[in-house]
Structure 1
């Protein structure tokens, strides 16, 4: 199944996974751009991006050596409700960055919030978790 067919599947966990990947990219890039103006939230953005890489990209958990404690932490977010909560907390923290210094960190906060909503919709619709084949997951073939 191709990536285009995965998007046509109307599985909100796939949409949320791609929203997570976009937010990882934005957190890293915009955290670097705003580093001197907002040091604590730039560092928090990088930490969030690091965690999200392992939560959203199954290929990384297979190839990167991590501790069993970190693996159990990441595996605890297999539930869509918990992922929605994780993204919501991250979005709130990034929105708080604007209380110190208004800047570009609004964009990843909005994407994190939209991703949280996608996971929440998937949880309410009771959709099984699917991960894009492009990112090392099983795709929707195993779910449907």
Structure 2
């Protein structure tokens, strides 16, 4: 299945997964950009950087097989295999970035918005009772099994 076919499937979990990849790039870039503030924003930018790596491992299952990680981290990441659990983690990460406004209004708001959009996609997939589907392009079904 190509990327175009995945998007035509109208499965919101695919949309959520690709939005999650966008979140990785955005959280990494904005986390680095805002870490140089001499304010409480540093805390939120570090959380944004950590979020980028956490989302990367959640959204690209192939990384759990090829990167040396601990068993506790692997079991933590595997908790997010359903649409509702992914919607919950994205919502919490978005909420944390929205709280950064308390410290100072920065570009971390963009990360909060995109994280919220990913949470909405996964919540819609859960409400519509769509099966969670990993994108084959990102190491979903078939690719991860070839590594073993």
Asked if Structure 1 and Structure 2 have the same fold, meaning a TM-score greater than 0.5 normalized by the shorter chain, the answer is: yes
In 1, the alpha carbon distance for the partners of 2:122 and 2:111 equals 16
Structure 1: stretches of 5+ with no match in the other structure: 140-144
Unaligned runs of 5+ in 2: 143-148
Question: What whole-Å deviation, never above 9, does each CA across 1:46-84 have from its counterpart, x for those lacking one?
Answer: 111111111011111111111111111111111211111
- Pick one of 110, 115, 136 that aligns with 2:113: 110
Alignment match, 1:48: 51
What number of residue pairs does the alignment pair up? 139
2:145: which partner in 1? none
Give structure 1 regions of 4+ aligned residues with deviation exceeding 6 angstroms.
none
Give a deviation string over 1:12-62, Cα, whole Å, max 9, x none.
000000111101100000111111222101100011111111101111111
Inter-partner Cα distance in structure 2 for 1:132 and 1:81: 17
Q: Name the counterpart of 1:18.
A: 18
User: Could you state the TM-score of these two structures normalised by the residue count of structure 2?
Assistant: 0.91
Look up the SS of the partner of 1:138 in the other structure.
coil
* Among candidates 118, 122, 140, match of residue 119 of structure 1: 122
